[in-house]
């Protein structure tokens, strides 16, 4: 019954910004690791950013460091991904995923139990 719903995707010009949201149906985010993944046509799904259930530091893929920021609002049970200075290679379907009691987050999709349906991000001039 856990449900994740992504929103905020769209078409943006290179250098622009988008903020993605991932709303969870759970009563709390405290015991779950949450990750953002993306997938472009013909490519493998790759991790973008995540945080572990221990509430430790957030993790970013090298390709997005300095440009993307992951945050969470525990009261709203929503995780955000702020994406700045977007590049065409950032295009793809962005998914959020969750797993309970995963102390430190990982970028391995198979480790996550719950997935949203994804939101499309297209960076193009």
Q: How far apart are CA 123 and CA 125, in angstroms?
A: 7
Secondary structure tally for the chain: helices H, strands E? 0, 11
Average pLDDT, the chain: 94
Tokens at 88, concatenated = 């065409």
Tokens at 80, concatenated = 């955000």
DSSP state of 117: -
Q: How far apart are CA 16 and CA 33, in angstroms?
A: 28
In this prediction, residue 59 carries a pLDDT of 95
At residue 74, the 3 state secondary structure works out as: coil
pLDDT band at 1 (very low <50, low <70, confident <90, very high): low
- Residue 60 CB: number of other CB atoms within 10 A? 19
Which stretch of 25-29, 36-40, 50-54, 93-97 has the lowest confidence by average pLDDT? 25-29
pLDDT above 90 for 57:
no
53's CB contacts (< 8 A; 6+ apart) are 30, 31, 32, 33, 99, 100, 101, 102, 103
């Amino acid at each position: 019954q856990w449900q994740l719903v992504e929103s905020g995707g769209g078409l943006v010009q290179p250098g622009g910004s988008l903020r993605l949201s991932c709303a969870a149906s759970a009563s709390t985010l405290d015991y779950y690791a949450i990750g953002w993944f993306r997938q472009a046509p013909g490519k493998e799904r790759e991790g973008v950013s995540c945080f572990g259930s221990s509430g430790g530091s957030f993790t970013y893929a090298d390709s997005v460091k300095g440009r993307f920021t992951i945050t969470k609002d525990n009261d709203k049970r929503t995780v955000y991904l702020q994406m700045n200075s977007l590049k065409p290679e950032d295009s793809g379907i962005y998914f959020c995923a969750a797993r309970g009691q995963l102390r430190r987050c990982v970028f391995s999709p198979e480790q996550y139990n719950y997935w949203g349906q994804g939101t499309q991000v297209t960076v193009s001039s």
